[in-house]
Amino acid sequence: MNRMTKPKSVATILVIINVIVFFMQSFADLNLTIFALIPSLVAQGYIFQLFTYMFLHGSFIHIFINMYILLIFGTAVEQTWGSKKFLRYYLITGIGAGICIFIMNYFVFSDLRMIPTIGASGAIFGLLLAFGVLFPNNVILLFFIIPIKAKYMIILYGMFEIYSLYTRGGTSGISHVGHLGGLLFGILYFAFIDKRSRKASRAIRTKIKNTVSKQASANRIKKEDHIKLNIILNKLEQYGKDSLPDGDYQIVNYYNIMKDSPHEIDCSVSDFNNSDPYCLKCETYTECILRKINSLLQD
């Protein structure tokens, strides 16, 4: 088996699981209410509901929006963090949102003790926070229309959820408590659990910038792409393809999908040299280094 096809995106797997469960709810006519988050049952020992409620959805539009955000923003976060860290964060924010729902709906909005809550929205809001922290200045389209930086989008969403919870309390059909719970546990994660990782990441970024400073003027727009691919190519040339972790395979798969070349490459694979001044100035540099990596992985 070609190892290029081995790594699986956790974000994609989560989407598939959610879709399968939704199919079971909708078309297989299975009653999965026991897996929803019902505060009174959680208080009686049904702790598993704090986890299982994340995989149930009430309608097509409900699951479509959640899975769309999971796939788009979750993939970017997973590519940055790696699959294990991404999954850990997703579960922490999702279960954390469930804990907030249980506390608020059991002790504050006591008339909601027997009302089930379902959906991955708590974890999704956690992912939106992670994207805003990791890519604060990336511009996205709010409601597919309004351009806004990710960091401001998170602030806007948070303010809206606080306002909605304050004005509507527990009467809304949307779990604003769950949304805020996902944001809260995301903040706690970055403030405490991820503290060491952020320090390490800053050190790694500094080292990488120093290493590639000679190439910075060649193509500033694609510098980040070149850094990632050069590191992978150097590993392949020095230690072989068995030295690559799954995270590197995911990066290569990502660029194979997203970086299709619009240019025609005239040089052969053997002609490419990632330190050659001529190659560094070439407009197909990214495509050439990716082609070189693919050829080494297929040997």
Please indicate, yes or no, whether residues 177 and 242 belong to a single structural domain of this protein. Answer: no
Please indicate, yes or no, whether residues 49 and 132 belong to a single structural domain of this protein. Answer: yes
Residue 202 within a domain: no
Which of 92-101, 217-226, 247-256, 274-283 is the most confident on average?
Answer: 92-101
Domain region containing 123: 3-196
CATH number at residue 172: 1.20.1540.10
How high is the pLDDT of residue 159?
A: 93
Residue 207 within a domain: no
Please indicate, yes or no, whether residues 17 and 43 belong to a single structural domain of this protein. Answer: yes
Which of 196, 228, 249 corresponds to the end of one domain? 196
The predicted model scores a pTM of: 0.66
| Interval 126-174: pLDDT, tens | 999 999 999 999 888 777 788 889 899 899 989 999 998 888 876 677 8
H/E stretch holding 35 reads: none
- Beta bridge partners, 147, equal 141
Which of 196, 224, 248 corresponds to the end of one domain? 196
Please indicate, yes or no, whether residues 70 and 144 belong to a single structural domain of this protein. Answer: yes
How high is the pLDDT of residue 198?
A: 59
Please indicate, yes or no, whether residues 83 and 149 belong to a single structural domain of this protein. Answer: yes
Residue 124 CB coordination number (10 Å): 26
216: helix, strand or coil: coil
Structure tokens at 33: 């209410």
Which of 165, 196, 227 corresponds to the end of one domain? 196
Measured in whole angstroms, the distance separating CA 162 from the mean position of its chain's CA atoms is: 24
Residue 288 within a domain: yes
Contacts of 167 (CB under 8 A, 6+ apart): none
Q: Report which of 84, 72, 164, 82 is spatially closest to residue 127, judged by C-alpha positions.
A: 72
| Interval 82-122: pLDDT, tens | 999 999 999 999 999 999 999 999 999 989 999 999 999 99
- The count of domains in the chain is 2
Residue 204 within a domain: no
Please indicate, yes or no, whether residues 29 and 146 belong to a single structural domain of this protein. Answer: yes
Please indicate, yes or no, whether residues 237 and 270 belong to a single structural domain of this protein. Answer: yes
Please indicate, yes or no, whether residues 166 and 53 belong to a single structural domain of this protein. Answer: yes
Residue 206 within a domain: no
